[in-house]
Amino acid sequence: MKKKNILLAAALLTSVCSYSSGQAAGRDTISIVGSSTVYPFSTVAAEQFGRGTSFKTPKIESTGTGGGFKLFCSGVGVDSPDISNASRAIKKSEFDTCQTNGVKDIVEVKIGYDGIVLANAKKSAPMQVSRKDIFLALAKNVPDPKGGEKLVANPYKTWKEVNPALPATKIEVLGPPPTSGTRDAFVELAMEAGAKTFSFIHDMEKKDKDKYKATTQMVREDGAYVEAGENDNLIVQKLEANPTAFGIFGFSFLDQNADKIQGSIVENESPNFDNIAAGKYPVSRPLFFYVKKAHVGEIPGIKEFVDEFTSEKAWGNDGYLADKGMIPMSKDERTTLLKDIKELKPMAAPAK
Amino acid sequence: MDNPANKQTIDRVNKGLSRRYRAERRFRIFGASAILLALSFLVLLFSSIFSTGYKAFQQTFIQIDIFFDPAEFTRENLSTANFPGLIKSSLSVMFPEVTSRGDRKDLYYLISPGASFQLMDVLKENTALIGTTRKIWVPANDDVDMLYKGNIDRTRPESERRINDNQLTWLDKLSAEGRVKKRFNSSFFTSGDSREPELAGIWGATRGSFYTLLITLSLSFPMGVAAAVYLEEFAPKNRWTDIIEVNINNLAAVPSIVYGLLGLAVFINFFGIPRSTPLVGGLVLTMMTLPIIIIASRASLKSVPPSIREAALGIGASKMQMVAHHVLPLALPGMLTGTIIGMAHALGETAPLLMIGMVAFIVDVPHGITDAATVLPVQIFLWSDSPERAFMERTSAAIMVLLAFLFLMNAAAVFLRKRFEIKW
């Protein structure tokens, strides 16, 4: 008994020692953090990279875009991640945090687009909406239906009340919680754009920025919008059980579940591969990853990983990322971006 | 006997008797239905998991004729050869009628991208194959697998299927030739995570769980037992030990995410232990299981009768000898049971690991406590969130494996208790 304990302690001690000696030598796996939207694409590229080269497969954590930048900008060194995935561009505040913590040179890599869809079960009819309808159906405060420039708490119960052309079913939308990048993008691309169709809200942007933000970005909390968590598979199941409900998620889930759900047509464009790629479908956003330039050369394989991710067989029109549901950029855009990426040109400070 | 007061009492008793029986019957029915309800939920849970999960233990394979073209293997290093090209040319030979670029892409899609790595392994074992043609079974793509398992309905319109009409025709041709077969899915048990469902396995997560629990056990068991023995046998009973006792009980009830935050602040940010490793995971889970082990060990020490202690002291044993030679061996089965239950608890934990970076996509199987690793419940969480439908059955299959481990550990605890427990 005693002997065993001593053996155990000795084993533990040696392992701890071997760890600290390993630590001095640095890390040999690329560490990636960030957006859960980019995660499915980043992991595929990482796996291809790990199998196709002599480098180890990068380790990828799905922390959300904001959480990723927090870790990424915490400093330079083996403890901090090398790459951060993002489903939106880096904000000025995040960039400044990076600068203060010594993360000076950041390389921005735009990888493609993702469409956000408003989908319902295949059992019910597809819906044709505009972004204005989406705003009126989901915002916390909307312009008074009686007219005028007054904002009132959202009175709409059914889609028909929002727009007579829509069906008379209850407004019930399942979507991601506020921590999600998909939610941020949906609010910005669908609701904010829909709100701007009211001229007085459009003017508000210059006069009263806070009020503008509150009006365009607050989602109603009276049960019409249900925060369904980050698990999109669960939302798909709930939509099947409840044919009048709608769900908000990324295009890749629609792509994989085309036999169960259908995307609503937004402003006469249905959410399919070609429409998003051509930039016609209005609710789509670019996806990025950011590379810490100071780590290139220190951690083996970063440059090669970036090359893998931006190779034609990955981000091209027929690449494996497109197979997974990412919408590729046009050939011209890829060629232009590739020049800067090859040189690992650091980005300038973002405007906002 | 015929005294009226007595008769009155017995009347009152008789009158109330049926009511009391009724009350008892009611109580029994409530109890039985509570158990029935709990059991039916359990059956529902298990049947839903097993009915989707058992399919993942099989995987569809397609047999292709591979010609190991000597022209491809002129270089020193085998792994630089164009293995995907070999598969593509073999498929083109089998389906000469497929010529357009789009159709070819659809055709190649039927075979898993993992097939080329399989060919590489086959060839590395036997380089004499170069120049010959072999029939080799390679894994089919996950969508093909789903089709053969009945999860894709071929009667649906083409636009709603992930397998198009052409692909169906090709697959039917392959089936007719006996080239499509479901086989045991061994890669599910031998490989690490992957984004291709047909290549994803739980071995990496299982190894990660093993290393993590190894750290947890080797730290929390000695520490927990030592703490319990000191508190129970040596510590004076005063206000301080009361406070300590209350706090240990409180710690056992703290939500596990809090330990994750603590681990992030202390182990990673302060001590600089690398993120995502079983080492830091084991340390966090140690903090979580320690109170459970201390409480179980103290209860087990308390159940050793005082007569044992007094007898030992009475024949001249020191306190140390009394504890080490008599009390501890008698209490050990109970302590081990508590430890195993604590370990089972740690095995099923995900929340604290989220904070310390063990919720991550890790392909390489870990080979030590400082390699990046993930654990079984995290693997289940990650798969359940993946868009590919084939991951759904893999999620259930991974749950089955985790349940099997938990069942084994709890059975071991019951066995130890039955085998070594001494009733006084």
Burial environment of residue B16 by CB neighbours within 10 A (0 to 12, 13 to 18, 19 or more): exposed
The parent domain of residue A223 ranges over 115-284
Q: Does residue A266 share a domain with residue A320?
A: no
Q: Does residue A298 share a domain with residue A270?
A: no
Q: What is the pLDDT of residue A19?
A: 46
Q: Does residue A174 share a domain with residue A221?
A: yes
Question: For residue A81, is it within any domain?
Answer: yes
Q: Chain A closest CA to B83's CA: distance in Å?
A: 11
DSSP β-bridge partners for residue A120: A246, A262
Number of domains in chain A: 2
Using pLDDT thresholds of 50, 70 and 90, give the confidence band for residue B132: confident
Which secondary-structure segment (H or E) carries A110?
strand A106-121
**CA A297 vs CA A27, A30, B282: distances in Å:** 12, 11, 32
Whether B273 has its CB under 8 Å from any CB of chain A: the answer is yes
The residue of B364, B385, B391, B395 whose CB has the most chain A CBs within 10 angstroms, and thus the best one to mutate to test that interface, is B385
CATH number of the domain to which A291 belongs: 3.40.190.10
Q: Chain B closest CA to A54's CA: distance in Å?
A: 10
Highest mean pLDDT among A167-171, B24-28, B165-169: B24-28
B129-144 average pLDDT score: 89
Q: Which of A268, A284, A300 is the last residue of a domain?
A: A284
What does the mean pLDDT of chain B come to?
90
Residue whose tokens read 């990673």: B268
Contacts of A31 in chain B (CB under 8 A): 275-276
Whole-angstrom distance, CA of residue B172 vs CA of residue B176? 6
Q: Residue B5 carries which side chain, given as an amino acid letter?
A: A
Tokens of B174: 């392959």
Tokens of A183: 């939610």
Count other Cβ atoms within 10 Å, centred on residue A218: 15
Q: Does residue A155 share a domain with residue A258?
A: yes
Using pLDDT thresholds of 50, 70 and 90, give the confidence band for residue B20: very high
Task: Answer yes or no: do A255 and B387 touch at CB < 8 A.
Answer: yes
pTM: 0.82
Q: Does residue A167 share a domain with residue A80?
A: no
Task: Answer yes or no: do B360 and A43 touch at CB < 8 A.
Answer: no
Whether B119 has its CB under 8 Å from any CB of chain A: the answer is no
Closest A-chain CA to B101: A318
Using pLDDT thresholds of 50, 70 and 90, give the confidence band for residue A8: low
Dihedral sign from CA coordinates of B345, B347, B348, B351? positive
Whole-angstrom distance, CA of residue B414 vs CA of residue B402? 18
Q: Which residues, 6+ apart, have CB-to-CB distance to B280 below 8 Å?
A: B263, B267, B268, B273, B274, B356
Q: Does residue A230 share a domain with residue A155?
A: yes
Whole-angstrom distance, CA of residue A258 vs CA of residue B159? 8
Whether B410 has its CB under 8 Å from any CB of chain A: the answer is no
A270-324 pLDDT, tens per residue? 888 888 888 889 888 889 999 999 999 889 999 999 999 998 888 888 788 888 8
Q: Which of A284, A313, A333 is the last residue of a domain?
A: A284
Using pLDDT thresholds of 50, 70 and 90, give the confidence band for residue B2: low
Tokens of B34: 């509570």
Tokens of B237: 């009973």
Question: For residue A213, is it within any domain?
Answer: yes
Using pLDDT thresholds of 50, 70 and 90, give the confidence band for residue A9: low
A229-277 pLDDT, tens per residue? 767 788 888 898 888 899 998 888 888 888 888 999 998 888 888 888 8
Question: What CATH number matches the domain at B203-420, 3.40.50.10480, 3.30.70.260, 1.10.3720.10, 3.50.50.60?
Answer: 1.10.3720.10
Whole-angstrom distance, CA of residue B235 vs CA of residue B306? 16
Q: Does residue A280 share a domain with residue A329?
A: no
Domain boundaries, chain B: 60-183, 203-420
What ipTM, to 2 d.p.?
0.77
Whether B332 has its CB under 8 Å from any CB of chain A: the answer is no
Tokens of B9: 């009492």
Q: Does residue A176 share a domain with residue A270?
A: yes
Interface of A with B in 171-230 (CB under 8 A): 230
Whole-angstrom distance, CA of residue B272 vs CA of residue B249? 30
Contacts of A29 in chain B (CB under 8 A): 364, 372
Question: For residue A17, is it within any domain?
Answer: no
Q: Which residues, 6+ apart, have CB-to-CB distance to B403 below 8 Å?
A: B49
Q: Does residue A225 share a domain with residue A119?
A: yes
**3-class state of residue A198 by DSSP:** coil
B275-292 pLDDT, tens per residue? 889 999 999 999 999 999
Count helices and strands in chain A by DSSP H and E runs: 17, 13
Instruction: Please choose, from the candidates B218, B180, B208, the residue with its C-alpha nearest in 3D space to the C-alpha of residue B378.
Output: B208
Q: Does residue A134 share a domain with residue A106?
A: no
Q: What is the pLDDT of residue B331?
A: 92
Q: What is the pLDDT of residue A17?
A: 43
Q: Does residue A87 share a domain with residue A129?
A: no
Q: Which of A284, A303, A327 is the last residue of a domain?
A: A284
